[in-house]
Structure 1
Amino acid sequence: MTNVPASPSLSQPLYGASFGQAFTRFWKKYATFSGRASRSEFWWWYLANIIIVTVLYIITAIGGFAGASIDSTTGASAPGPLFGVGIALLVIWWLAIIVPTLALSWRRLHDTNRSGLFWFLGFIPVVGGIILLVLFVLDSDPAGARFDA
């Protein structure tokens, strides 16, 4: 048997994280703003979130079309009764991930040796999101260890 190195503790970034490891660490570090998050942890989570949100949108769309009705006098259409279920699921998902997603973003910025407060650059119209994207893509900086708990 070969010895497989153990994963680092949750207080350390997991470089080269797999999809499952990143998803698990996201939930285990729900509201942890200190420490760092590797690029793989960050981007695997975003892929998982995109997949889940896409499925929820499909459920919402199917629920909207199934049983949809059209008012014969005005021509206005009304979504089916399951449309509300899809919207409720999207809202619940969004509420469940808002804090840990913000925490993950702060930890990713820490891994690039930047304060989590750089996250607020995202509020700059037009360019803020682009600036954040560039910062999230940057390589890890060993000096970011100053943010470790």
Structure 2
Amino acid sequence: MTLHEFLALPHRFRWGGMGGDDCTTFCGTWLQESIGFDPAEEYRGTYASSKGAHDILARAGGVVAFAAAKLEPVGFKRVQHPHDGDVGVVKAPTGLDGETKEICAIRFGPLWALLSPSGVVAKKLDHVAVWRAPGGDPDV
């Protein structure tokens, strides 16, 4: 499945990645569809709220530490220059107060695609950390 095909699917926001995805399992679903590996598999269905997701990420030391622990042991490389299909942690605005949070997203051209309660959105955002799947182009 290509990234364009994946993003065009009817995505549904559901905490815990059952019957839909949240912002973190969305990236796991992309990796499952594109390379056959779901880093979120063991967490799907184990939480059903924002608090449940936050608790898992807090125990891991934050979203960057969580992603690194799931991706790097299976050969994902941390890169500085994102390419289409790379997964990363970005700073994204949440709510009306302008607060930003670190969330998982997929690189899509010059934008980052992420899943929000209103569906897939693509925005120009700053990345905090980016990983490329094993066998992907080297970081140049």
Shorter-chain TM-score tier: under 0.3
Q: Compare the two structures and name the one with the higher helix fraction.
A: 1
Higher strand share: 2
TM-score by length of 2: 0.27
Larger Rg: 1
